[in-house]
């Protein structure tokens, strides 16, 4: 049985993409194969990571498309052309409309750097999440992989992992620990779980 074709959508450095590439190499991710890396930013370093791993890349920018509708239509067209079956958002800094997400029910995964429902939703991304966790004084944070629906960070949870907050943590130190201890482990595990389920139900 052929592995499920995965597209990873990126905007930046692609550390979560690298975790997925490494998981495929090491045999953690076997039910799915990264077949496309699509960026909404020209020159995103994640594209280099994809090229180094011999994965096809595409760039679709909102500026070039002119509107959100045209931008999403172009992404859909690109995904279809590559026979993509599931989408993983790995630091993709563009909110996708309900029209887009509803076209892929339970087929879009996202990793969020907190234990949802804490510190999630509109405005909670990147360092903002870790700043909020530290400001609130929580003792435990973590990461969540969830399905994407029309509500930001509102889809069904697939996997979560807790990460301890330590004395003297800064948002940057905490961000790094959450990536290393949770995000980079959870995302490949969740991708494998979802792809394995798809194969099982085929």
* Chain mean position to CA 37: 11
Whether 75 contacts 94, CB under 8 Å:
no
Under 8 Å between Cβ of 14 and 90 = yes
Coil, strand or helix at 28: coil
Cis before 117? omega within 30: yes
- Pick the catalytic residue: 82, 112, 130, 146? 112
Residues 6+ apart with CB under 8 A from 90: 8, 9, 10, 14, 16, 17, 20, 46, 111, 187
CA distance 39 to 41: 5
> Is 112 marked active-site?
yes
Beta bridge partners of 37: 8, 57
59 within 8 A of 47, measured Cβ to Cβ: yes
Q: 158 by DSSP, 3-state: which?
A: strand
Residues annotated catalytic, as ranges:
112
């Amino acid at each position: 049985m052929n592995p499920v074709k995965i597209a990873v959508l990126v905007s930046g450095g692609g550390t979560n993409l690298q975790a997925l590439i490494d998981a495929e190499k090491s045999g953690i991710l076997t039910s799915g194969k990264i077949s496309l890396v699509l960026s909404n930013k020209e020159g995103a370093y994640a594209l280099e990571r994809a090229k180094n791993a011999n994965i096809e890349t595409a760039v679709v920018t909102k500026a070039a498309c002119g509107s959100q509708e045209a931008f999403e239509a172009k992404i859909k067209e690109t995904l279809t052309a590559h026979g993509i079956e599931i989408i993983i958002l790995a630091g993709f800094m563009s909110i996708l409309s309900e029209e887009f997400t509803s076209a892929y029910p339970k087929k879009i995964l996202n990793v969020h750097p907190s234990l949802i429902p804490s510190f999630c939703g509109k405005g909670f991304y990147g360092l903002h999440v870790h700043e909020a966790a530290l400001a609130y004084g929580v003792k435990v944070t973590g990461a969540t992989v969830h399905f994407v629906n029309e509500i930001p960070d509102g889809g069904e949870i697939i996997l979560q992992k807790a990460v301890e907050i330590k004395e003297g943590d800064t948002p940057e130190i905490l961000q790094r620990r959450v990536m290393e201890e949770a995000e980079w482990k959870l995302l490949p595990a969740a991708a494998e779980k979802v792809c394995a389920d798809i194969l099982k139900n085929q």
